[in-house]
Chain A
Amino acid sequence: AQSVTQLDSHVSVSEGTPVLLRCNYSSSYSPSLFWYVQHPNKGLQLLLKYTSAATLVKGINGFEAEFKKSETSFHLTKPSAHMSDAAEYFCVVSDKASGYSTLTFGKGTMLLVSP
C-alpha cells in the first residue's frame, strides 16, 4: 500500500529565507508524486507533479521538488519565502497497486512566514 509521511506539521521561516518542506513516501510501484497548496478556507491548488520524467520538477510560484528514489523522498523547496506563501502544503502519492490510480495525502505541513 502507498503512504506519505510529511515530517513536519509546522515550518516557520522569515520572509526572504529558503523554504524546505519534507516528504517521504512508500509505494510498491513507480509512483507519481504531487505537491498541493491550500490557502485558508480555499480549495487545493496543484504546485507541481512528478510523473517519471525529470527528477527535478519546477512548479508555480518559484517552488520546486526533487524526486530521490534511493531516499524515497520528494522534498519541496523555494529559495526565498514570500508572505503569500503562508499556507498548508500537502504531499500526495499515487500508484496503480490497486489496479487503478488513487491519491494518498500526507497530513500536511503548515508554512508560517514572518516579516
Chain B
Amino acid sequence: NAGVMQNPRHLVRRRGQEARLRCSPMKGHSHVYWYRQLPEEGLKFMVYLQKENIIDESGMPKERFSAEFPKEGPSILRIQQVVRGDSAAYFCASSPLEAGQNTEAFFGQGTRLTVV
C-alpha cells in the first residue's frame, strides 16, 4: 500500500499564474486534509474533505483558493493568480476515518510552492 502521494514535489510559478497541487490518498482512505507550512511556523489547517464533499474549509483563504476531492481521482488544491505570499510547503494527509480520535493521519511529502 503506497503512502500518500503528492505531486509535484516542487512547483515554481510566476505571480498571477495558477498552481494545482495533487494528492492521492492511501488506498481505502476517504478523508483528506490539506495543511500549509510557512517558514518558522507549524502546519496550519486549510481544508478537510471527504469524497465529493467539503467538510470544513475554515482555514482556506476566501479568495483564489479552492479544493476538491472527486469521486474518482486525486484531491486537488488550486490556487489562482498566485502571489509571493503563497510560497510555502503544502501538505496533504489522509485517513480511513476522521483523523484524530483513535485514528492517525498519514502525511504526504508535501509540495513546495515557490512564487517568483
- Which residues of A pack against B, CB within 8 Å? 6, 9, 32, 34, 36, 41-46, 49, 51, 90, 94-96, 98, 100-108
Number of A-B contacts (CB under 8 A): 67
- Which residues of B pack against A, CB within 8 Å? 4, 33, 35, 40-45, 48, 55-56, 91, 93, 98-110, 112
In the complex formed, the residue of B with least CB distance to A53 is B102
In the complex, what residues of A have CB within 8 A of residue B42's CB?
6, 90, 105-108
In the complex, what residues of B have CB within 8 A of residue A106's CB?
42
In the complex, what residues of B have CB within 8 A of residue A32's CB?
100-102
In the complex, what residues of A have CB within 8 A of residue B44's CB?
105
Smallest CB separation, A27 vs chain B (Å): 11
In the complex, what residues of A have CB within 8 A of residue B45's CB?
102-105
B107:A44 contact, CB within 8 angstroms: yes
The one of B35, B56, B100, B107 that contacts A96, using a Cβ cutoff of 8 Å? B100
A43:B99 contact, CB within 8 angstroms: no
Smallest CB separation, A81 vs chain B (Å): 22
CA distance A103 to B56 in the complex (A): 12
